[in-house]
Amino acid sequence: MADSSRTRPADPDAAESRTESPLSGKKRLQHSPGLRPKYQSSAPGHCLRKVTLTKPTFCHSCSDFIWGLIGFLCEVCNFMCHEKCLKTLRAACSCMAPSLVRVPVAHCFGPAGHKKRFCSVCRKQTEGNTALRCEVCELHVHADCAVFSCADCRRSHLDATLQQDTFHHHWREGNLPSAARCEVCRRSCGSSDVMAGMRCEWCGITTHAACYLSVPPECTLGRLRSMMLHPSCLHLDSRNFSKMHCYRITESCSHELDNSDDVDLSAAVTKDGQPAAPESGKQFLKVFDGDDAVKRGCFRSVSILRATRNEEVVEAALRAFYLPDEPQDFELHEVGGMQRLHSDDILNRNGGPDNRSSQKDGGDTWLLRAKPRDTEVIQVHAGWPRSDASPVSVLVSKNSTAASVLTEVLSKLDRQGEDLSSFTLMEVYMSSKQVQRQTLTPQENILEKLQEIRKTSLRQMNQTRFYVVENVNRAVQVGLLIGGLPPLLAKEEYVQLIEEHLAIKSHLVSISHIYGSQGAVALQISCFSEAERIYMLAKDTTVNNKTLTSLVIPEIQHNKLGDDVCPLLVFVNPKSGGLKGRELLYSFRKLLNPHQVFDISNGGPLVGLHTFREVPHFRVLVCGGDGTVGWVLGVLEAVRHKLVCREPPIGIVPLGTGNDLARVLRWGAGYSGEDPHHILVSVDEADEVLMDRWTILLDAQDISEDGKDNGFLEPPKIVQMNNYFGLGIDAELSLDFHQAREDEPDKFTSRFHNKGVYVKVGLQKISYTRSLHKELQLQVDAQNVQLPNIEGLIFLNIPSWGSGADLWGSEVDSRHGKPRIDDGLLEVVGVTGVVHMGQVQSGLRSGIRIAQGNYIRLTVSKPIPVQVDGEPWIQPPGHIIISAAGPKVRMLRKSKQKQKKSAGVKDGRAESPSSRDGPH
């Protein structure tokens, strides 16, 4: 790697353009230098020079304001600091990022949020649609900077290829909240003005860039340790799957990301989008970094003075590609004629007629090439845990092969007595999107291999490293969950369907679990290529006009979980809560292990429950509305016999419109931007309570006026109820609201709008009349109950209805007991119409108390609107039976002490390591 004090060309415009992306569209051009002095620093890779400041500027090292007119700017990554900070500088330059990676892990890029962030490559502010962020870690980049980032994401599981000894902090620079405090010196280390400070991606501690090396290297996972799945407890054979597949992340912007290497860099434009006019005495050069870039037409623009030395032009080109190498090892060739740039300056070759033609076309086109080398030093890393993680340096020549390099490396690692055939030299390309591994044959010439990579792409060479790995014949086990199959079939029928539609090879694939009620099967596959084929084929296969789902499942090694660890299984509905679920999904993936956070719209709750099937103790957090909570409870009820922990307690983050169950359990009326870190702490400190669940049998029959059954109208239906069951006007309003949302789903993105539509629907029904007591016959605990003159009948399991209204009321009644969610009784309440419902919502009245009981039987003589936990439909005439649904479920109720503590902290979110990414 290059020395940090090497001479680099200066950039007189850098200080004035720090808010721009350095590449296409809104990039600044690389300018040729004057021969001004450069300054050394203790951090690797930076090339600093003194600049005159023309606007308020903050130091990237200490985050303090730079008083005066002088600052020190890195010409490669735009790092800016005080003169006093030069001696304590620790943050490495962007060009050195590949050399600092411990174990390469690819990123999962998705569209960034709307908050102000700074790019981890060029350190400038990201803007709108041109910004990307990793869905798993803190990396924020411009779309056109992504190709210059490397695979330094969090390592969330083991894959048996590359191991590490201890679990270290995973440091990420910048994008800290302004109130963050340094773990070492306790001073403020965050900034909203510049990219400053360091944060551990796992435990969340924050420090100054000058202090973080003083923190003990081993990470303890911090406050959330007791609910986090440690990466060493997770195994996933993922060789042929991208990280998007491994984390079950929907590739919403896959087209844009797949083409991120093909960014059009041809236009030299200013920030406002207008073409930049060439300054007097300057010329644009189009520079490619290899044959692959020429083939794709992807180049960088470099602006130089007419009289510029060849070495300075080469150095400007290296800087444009974030390459830390020495300029004397490279040269420029003209594209097409491949004429070398060999004169002392380019003034003479730019002075003829060709120059005028070139300027008209946008500048000369050049290819940056590495000079041929007879010998070279490569760094080889050990692929097994070592106390000293530093690589081994090996000198390779024209005769060096992979076998000779292996021999020398093993001798330096004190393993020279072992069989050479037990080890392999592996080439690893650390692209930010995909870590590509290639095993080298013993006879492969290493010097030729290096020259081949450099000829293809110099950037690729900078992101390539070599590992020596042990040949371990470990059995491959890839887990896939295939969903979307017809439910309630026999095992033989599922085997037949899988063999017919996916053409599985029975000697490589076995069915480990069958979830008949969910129409899903879990496969164990002992071959990478077969697993990849089945995964891709399933996504394009339909059975009974329903497309199959295919998801990669990690293996949780539950015997490695600590006794004090109760991992949290998180389900997030990204479509709930006005799309706030999308930001919560991102925040929880970042705060926890992403393998324990599931997008419930991608495969449903079964995926997470199947993943946690062998974990002896775990908790569940459901982020969604009452319908989402009911969905999770229903699937849990169906598959609990396959779980070691059959009754995991469930907490709620309310994202729906009503959120009545969340209100009862003290989680609030609705999510309004609380800090996700504080939510997880509240879940950890929550109390466990029991709650009744109820089974509703809907037996539609043709009932005559004299009460006789004249046959079935449709097959009987069974549904589960957690909150309440309503018939009549209450259900009709829910049905009208549901139909309005189905017709125009894009308009129902906020809780406020949803309630407004509900009020509008209610006003339209204000003159509604229906003599419900004439259409229903009610039995409670085998006793006939006379109904009053009502328009709606509601059965309550919880003391909250219609977005928090107390329908039963708080008055003491000698005939009935005080309602509880675990008393095994339902409260039966009537309403006389829309006006009565509005009075209940306003707290002016309560409903009409009718009965309490644990076994309800209804006879319905006409079609009637019904709703269960907010899900409405029209129910034909027939019988309806409500009874207890097996064992009570365990729920998490937010502790009162935690509620008071949260209410007393006015700005508690500022101290949280995640608050800057929670939605507002």
- pLDDT tens for 349-396 read 443 333 333 333 435 789 999 999 899 999 998 888 777 778 899 999
What Å distances lie between residue 550 and 97, 485, 533, 599, 635, CA to CA? 35, 11, 11, 14, 18
- Given a cut of 60, whether residue 13 has pLDDT beyond it is no
| Spacing of C-alpha 435 from chain mean position | 18
Q: Point out the least confidently predicted range of 231-245, 327-341, 507-521, 855-869.
A: 327-341
Cβ atoms of 86 and 72 within 8 Å: the answer is: yes
**pLDDT tens-place string over residues 278-297:** 455 677 888 999 999 998 88
- Taking each helix axis from N to C terminus, what angle separates 528-539 and 491-502, rounded to the nearest 10 degrees? 90
Segment holding 609, helix H or strand E: helix 606-611
Q: What pLDDT is stored for residue 2 in this prediction?
A: 38
What Å distances lie between residue 700 and 709, 711, 713, 779, 828, CA to CA? 10, 9, 6, 17, 22
Reference 633, options 615, 620, 642; nearest CA is: 620
CB-facing half-sphere around the CA of 672: CA atoms within 13 A: 7
Using 50, 70 and 90 to split pLDDT, how confident is the model at 664? very high
- Given a cut of 70, whether residue 51 has pLDDT beyond it is yes
Rounded to an integer, what distance in angstroms lies between the CA atom of residue 717 and that of residue 700?
Answer: 8
Arithmetic mean of pLDDT, 241-258: 68
Q: What pLDDT is stored for residue 431 in this prediction?
A: 86
**pLDDT tens-place string over residues 184-204:** 999 888 888 889 899 999 999
Rounded to an integer, what distance in angstroms lies between the CA atom of residue 566 and that of residue 620?
Answer: 10
Side chain identity, residue 106: A
- Given a cut of 70, whether residue 165 has pLDDT beyond it is no
Q: What pLDDT is stored for residue 201 in this prediction?
A: 93
Arithmetic mean of pLDDT, 662-684: 91
Q: Point out the least confidently predicted range of 266-280, 659-673, 730-744, 881-895.
A: 266-280
Phi, psi of 213 (to 5 degrees): -70, -15
Rounded to an integer, what distance in angstroms lies between the CA atom of residue 631 and that of residue 608?
Answer: 13
Which structure tokens are listed for 632? 């999770």
Side chain identity, residue 873: W
Cβ atoms of 557 and 611 within 8 Å: the answer is: no
Q: What pLDDT is stored for residue 659 in this prediction?
A: 87
Q: By CB neighbour count within 10 A (0-12 exposed, 13-18 middle, 19+ buried), where does 345 fall?
A: middle
Rounded to an integer, what distance in angstroms lies between the CA atom of residue 249 and that of residue 118?
Answer: 24
Q: What pLDDT is stored for residue 763 in this prediction?
A: 54
Q: What is the DSSP string of 390-402?
A: PPEEEEE-TT-BH
Rounded to an integer, what distance in angstroms lies between the CA atom of residue 282 and that of residue 306?
Answer: 6
What Å distances lie between residue 142 and 76, 93, 146, 169, 257, CA to CA? 16, 17, 6, 25, 12
Question: What's the mean pLDDT when you consider all of the chain?
Answer: 81
What percentage of the chain's residues is helix, strand, coil (to nearest 5)?
25, 25, 45
- Given a cut of 80, whether residue 20 has pLDDT beyond it is no
Q: What pLDDT is stored for residue 691 in this prediction?
A: 95
Q: What pLDDT is stored for residue 215 in this prediction?
A: 92
Q: Point out the least confidently predicted range of 154-168, 248-262, 717-731.
A: 248-262
Q: What spatial distance separates the first Cα and last Cα of the chain, rounded to whole Å?
A: 43
Give the torsion sign (CA, 540, 543, 547, 550): negative
Phi, psi of 913 (to 5 degrees): -70, -10
Cβ atoms of 263 and 298 within 8 Å: the answer is: yes
- Given a cut of 60, whether residue 544 has pLDDT beyond it is yes
DSSP letter, residue 136:
S
Rounded to an integer, what distance in angstroms lies between the CA atom of residue 174 and that of residue 119?
Answer: 9
Reference 310, options 346, 275, 283, 284; nearest CA is: 346
Residues shown for the chain: 920
Q: What is the DSSP string of 470-481?
A: E---PPP-EEEE
CA 650-652-654 angle, 5° bins: 160
Q: Point out the least confidently predicted range of 156-165, 292-301, 576-585, 613-622.
A: 156-165
Q: What is the DSSP string of 492-538?
A: HHHHHHHHHHH---TTTEEEEEEEGGGTEEEEEES-HHHHHHHHHHH
Cβ atoms of 801 and 819 within 8 Å: the answer is: no
Residue 488, number of CB atoms within 10 A of its CB:
9
Q: Point out the least confidently predicted range of 309-323, 424-438, 746-760.
A: 746-760
Q: Point out the least confidently predicted range of 248-252, 311-315, 540-544, 732-736.
A: 248-252
- Given a cut of 70, whether residue 460 has pLDDT beyond it is yes
Arithmetic mean of pLDDT, 473-478: 81
Cβ atoms of 57 and 85 within 8 Å: the answer is: no
Q: What pLDDT is stored for residue 685 in this prediction?
A: 94
**pLDDT tens-place string over residues 812-849:** 888 888 899 999 999 999 998 888 888 888 888 889 99
Reference 363, options 334, 392, 331; nearest CA is: 334
Q: What pLDDT is stored for residue 321 in this prediction?
A: 92
Give the torsion sign (CA, 318, 323, 327, 331): negative
Rounded to an integer, what distance in angstroms lies between the CA atom of residue 196 and that of residue 8?
Answer: 24
**pLDDT tens-place string over residues 228-238:** 999 989 988 87
Reference 790, options 819, 825, 828; nearest CA is: 828
Arithmetic mean of pLDDT, 27-41: 46
More confident residue, 61 or 38: 61
Rounded to an integer, what distance in angstroms lies between the CA atom of residue 436 and that of residue 452?
Answer: 16
More confident residue, 873 or 159: 873
Secondary structure class of 878 (helix, strand, coil): strand
Phi, psi of 372 (to 5 degrees): -60, 140
Using 50, 70 and 90 to split pLDDT, how confident is the model at 251? low
- Strand ranges, E, within 806-846: 826-831
Rounded to an integer, what distance in angstroms lies between the CA atom of residue 804 and that of residue 832?
Answer: 19
Task: Give 16's contacts (C-beta < 8 A, 6+ positions apart).
Answer: 54, 55
Reference 38, options 25, 26, 49; nearest CA is: 49
Q: What pLDDT is stored for residue 6 in this prediction?
A: 38
Q: What pLDDT is stored for residue 575 in this prediction?
A: 81
Rounded to an integer, what distance in angstroms lies between the CA atom of residue 599 and that of residue 593?
Answer: 14
Arithmetic mean of pLDDT, 439-460: 92
Q: What pLDDT is stored for residue 27 in this prediction?
A: 36
Q: By CB neighbour count within 10 A (0-12 exposed, 13-18 middle, 19+ buried), where does 694 fall?
A: buried
Using 50, 70 and 90 to split pLDDT, how confident is the model at 670? confident
Phi, psi of 894 (to 5 degrees): -60, 130
More confident residue, 74 or 918: 74
Arithmetic mean of pLDDT, 726-755: 68
Cβ atoms of 151 and 92 within 8 Å: the answer is: no
DSSP letter, residue 174:
S
Secondary structure class of 98 (helix, strand, coil): helix
Rounded to an integer, what distance in angstroms lies between the CA atom of residue 32 and that of residue 311?
Answer: 11
Rounded to an integer, what distance in angstroms lies between the CA atom of residue 322 and that of residue 121?
Answer: 9
Rounded to an integer, what distance in angstroms lies between the CA atom of residue 322 and that of residue 77?
Answer: 8
Q: What pLDDT is stored for residue 210 in this prediction?
A: 86
